[in-house]
Amino acid sequence: MVSPPDQLSILVPIKDEAESLEELVAEVVTCLDEEGDAGEPQVIDWELILIDDGSTDGSWEIIGALADREPRVRGLRLRRNVGKSAALAAGLAEASGQVIATMDGDLQDVPTELPRLLARLDDPADLVTGYKQDRKDPWTKRLPSKLFNLVTSLVTGLRLRDHNCGLKVARREVFEKVPLYGEMHRFFAAIAHAQGFRVVEQTVEHRARKHGRSKFGIERYARGGIDLLTVVTLTRYNRRPAHLFGGLGLIVGLIGAGILIYLAGLWALTDQAIGTRPLLLFGVFLVVLAVQLVSLGLLAELLISQQVVREDPQLHVLDRAVTSPGREWTAHDPTTASVPPDPDRPPYGPPGA
């Protein structure tokens, strides 16, 4: 259960879901106000933020009416359709909770799963992401999704069965550290994992779509391939760009140098002319490209070095272990190295610790 200081904010991007909004809000209110085992509400303090991402079916008018009836429901209307990632970022800026949940507004995500996901935060975990084990979608969506999840797990190193599940619960710090733009919401868990946050997966119920139609087509998986390259660059090489560009430059340069050495040997050992061969131009092109890639990597390192200087050196500190009050550590004396250990002394720390 979420305590009052850790207010829960639920972010729901909406795009033409007018028929689903009434039922969605009713389910959230019923679920989170339901009494738990201790006789108290499942979540003491919560808010639901509905982000209208350029709807044209009257969704905004319904959101306004729902906000009038239920004070814990708030609406946010975007100027135009900017995409799910940007909508979530706008909702996060509006949210006041220290625990953030996200879910889709098409009723396929089940609000009653929220308390189960919240409980997993004490696992301990920083981000709990859902896994739609029994997914109620046609095979034309399930099959590409399986391939997407397999490739994403292999490339990012985070083994999840459902990277793109809309139902997630995380501490606010995770959302503030992980960038949300473009289509990065699909790789939210992978980026959080790369930044050192603890990510766990929880099986959740999934329902068939009741109203409207899906807003996503097969083309999003093609765009996802490009986004995956972006994620790899951001997570693996954001602090060492010279390794990325320099590595590519080294490979290209070796290929180009090999071509030029072959042609030079051919010219020196035979009477064949090489000046008109396209292979010569290709070899020169690869060598020039290699020099440019290495130079780009070095310039990127200069930019990163300026950013690191301004960065908080304790940015990635999670916890601290300190000496208990009233105790002092004793300096190591090499002359006592051969003294047998005291059986009453604990294996770590100063005597009496």
Q: Is residue 175 included in any domain, yes or no?
A: yes
pLDDT of residue 182: 81
| C-alpha span between 21 and 12 (Å, rounded) | 10
pLDDT of residue 167: 94
pLDDT of residue 342: 52
Residues 273 and 295 in one domain: yes
What is the CA 279 to chain-centroid distance, rounded?
44
Q: What is the DSSP string of 288-302?
A: HHHHHHHHHHHHHHH
Q: Is residue 316 included in any domain, yes or no?
A: no
Domain that holds residue 282: 241-309
Residues 82 and 62 in one domain: yes
Q: Is residue 341 included in any domain, yes or no?
A: no
Residues 253 and 300 in one domain: yes
Residues 232 and 298 in one domain: no
pLDDT of residue 42: 63
Residues 257 and 223 in one domain: no
| C-alpha span between 247 and 241 (Å, rounded) | 10
Residues 77 and 123 in one domain: yes
The structure tokens listed for 297 are 């990597």
pLDDT of residue 23: 93
For residue 190, which of 227, 153, 143 has the smallest C-alpha distance?
Answer: 153
Amino acid identity for residue 276 in this structure:
T
Q: Is residue 33 included in any domain, yes or no?
A: yes
Whole-prediction pTM: 0.73
Which CATH number does the domain housing residue 125 bear? 3.90.550.10
pLDDT of residue 4: 39
Residues 171 and 192 in one domain: yes
Coil/strand/helix, residue 268 = helix
For residue 68, what are the CA distances in angstroms to 54, 62, 63, 65, 294? Answer: 21, 10, 9, 5, 59
Q: What is the DSSP string of 137-195?
A: S-HHHHHHHHHHHHHHHHHHS---S-TT-S-EEEEHHHHHHS---TTGGGGHHHHHHHT
pLDDT tens over the chain, length 353 residues: 444 335 899 999 999 899 999 999 999 998 888 755 555 566 668 999 999 999 998 999 999 999 999 999 999 999 999 989 999 999 999 999 999 999 998 888 999 999 899 988 877 899 999 999 888 877 777 888 888 889 888 888 889 999 889 899 999 999 999 988 888 888 999 999 988 899 999 999 988 887 767 666 566 666 777 788 888 887 788 778 888 888 999 999 999 999 999 999 988 888 888 888 899 999 999 999 999 999 998 998 888 777 766 666 666 666 677 766 666 555 555 554 444 555 554 444 444 44
Q: Is residue 326 included in any domain, yes or no?
A: no
Residues 133 and 195 in one domain: yes
Q: Is residue 245 included in any domain, yes or no?
A: yes
Residues 100 and 142 in one domain: yes
pLDDT of residue 353: 41
Contact 70, 32 (CB under 8 A): no
The structure tokens listed for 234 are 């951001």
Residues 176 and 275 in one domain: no
Residues 213 and 249 in one domain: no
Question: Which pairs with CB-CB distance under 8 Å and at least 24 residues apart come from 118-121?
Answer: 118/1, 118/2, 118/8, 118/43, 118/169, 119/1, 120/169, 120/200, 120/202, 121/169, 121/170, 121/171
Question: What is the gyration radius of the CA atoms in the chain, in angstroms?
Answer: 28
